[in-house]
Amino acid sequence: MELETFRKGLDEWLDEHEPELTPEADVALDGQMRHLSAVKRLAYDAGWMRWGWPERVGGFGGSTLLRGYLGEALTIRGLVEPGIYSMTEVLAPTMISFAPEELARQMVPRLLRGDETWCQGFSEPGTGSNLASLSCRAVAVGDGWHVTGQKLWTGLAQFADRCVLLTRTGTAESAHKGITALFVDMKSPGISVRPLRTMHGADEFCEVFFDDVRVPLDRTLGEVNGGWAVAMDLLPYERSTSLWHKGAYLHHRLADLLAAAPDGAIQADALGAVVQQLFVFRARSRATQYRLARGEKLGPETSIDKIMVGMTEQVVFDLVADVLSTRIAVGDDPAGERWRADFLYSRAATIYGGSAEIQRNILARRVLDLGPDR
């Protein structure tokens, strides 16, 4: 299927089905999650959600650009929130690359169809920027792994049916050479999830505790002690398609600001600079989507996309905070609450998923080739 055909067909389908696809106003996170599943189900059954995914996992094949456009179209129409939608784009490609074939064939359609929610267990209390230092331990006993440890900042874990989990299987000093990725059922005995209250008010992130959790050996993703490759494969996805969707969301919210701002409240040069920054990010991300679609291997240069999206999100919501300062400070109506939550959440855009400083370190070492940093 060509992108143009897909675009036209999808737009028509969305026009027709917009009433069923539109979320109720201002529902809490669990309602948003239910709505997301419903949207994915409808889009899957109509075929749209299957394009751009390989046939061996229930997809229809075709370019990854189709997925890029689907998420964008759903986002700009306000039908999904790209943050919670992004898990599909981040985790499905990793399963396709690293899961045993039968497992991928069985599981990926459940994620695409909205039957299941998955989460990504990477960060830990002692492991933020230094991902290779993680210590959640997995020990192979007989035909299973026994996992003990803690994860932190695990997005949507309280809703998740499965987790792509990074565990320590080598010695404590083995760093990136002793990590193994597992595909864990979140219903397994020994897992407990505690949502974290964050400053923007949504319990989107969790602490996850593993107390001698059994994971079958055939749920290993990639090689034993080869988990770093899984993480390195996943991160560029986290920094490509889902960022295109995020860019669309920022455009959508800036358009909302333009509509909501009182006359004379927006300064022309400030607005011009934000629109330019959005254009820069979109142009960069668009080029990345095409590289992905051509089958190029994405690597450390996607840190550029990641830094840019964080910068863009912050300049958009800095402008919001400037123009709608009173509503952000004291607006208790639903729209005011949403502006406030979006503004507060934007403060994390240069922190989560690898801080802006770590991304700069990656660019310095691996793109600019500046040699070691000591």
Residue ranges binding another protein (CB under 8 A): 3, 7, 65, 68-69, 72, 244, 248, 251, 254-255, 258-259, 266-273, 275-276, 279-284, 286-287, 289, 304, 307-308, 357, 359-361, 363-365, 367-368, 370-374
Instruction: Give least dist CB 155 to another protein, A.
Output: 25
Nearer to another protein, 297 or 374 (CB): 374
Residue closer to another protein, measured from CB, 200 or 282: 282
Smallest Cα–Cα separation from 311: which of 338, 277, 339?
A: 277
> What's the closest the beta carbon of residue 255 comes to another protein, in angstroms?
5
Measured from the CB of residue 304, what is the shortest distance to another protein in angstroms? 5
Pick between residue 28 and residue 280 the one whose CB is nearest to another protein.
280
Distance of closest approach, residue 214 Cβ to another protein, in angstroms: 43
Distance (Å, whole) CA 138 – CA 122: 14
To which H or E segment does residue 112 belong? helix 101-112
- Give the nearer residue to another protein in terms of CB position, either 66 or 191: 66
Question: Which tokens belong to 260?
Answer: 């909501």
Length of the chain as a residue count: 374
Q: How far apart are CA 143 and CA 148, in angstroms?
A: 17
Torsion angle of the four alpha carbons 254, 259, 265, 266, in this order, in degrees rounded to the nearest 10: 40
Please check whether residue 57 is in contact with residue 104, taking contact to mean a CB–CB distance below 8 angstroms.
yes
C-beta of 345: minimal distance to another protein in Å?
21
Sorted by sequence, the CB contacts under 8 Å of residue 63 that are 6+ apart come out as 3, 52, 293
Report the residue number, 127 or 277, with the smaller CB distance to another protein.
Answer: 277
Instruction: Give min distance, CB of 319 to another protein, in A.
Output: 10
**How far, CA to CA in Å, does 100 sit from each of 108, 119, 321?**
12, 19, 48
Judged by CB, which is closer to another protein: 106, or 279? Answer: 279
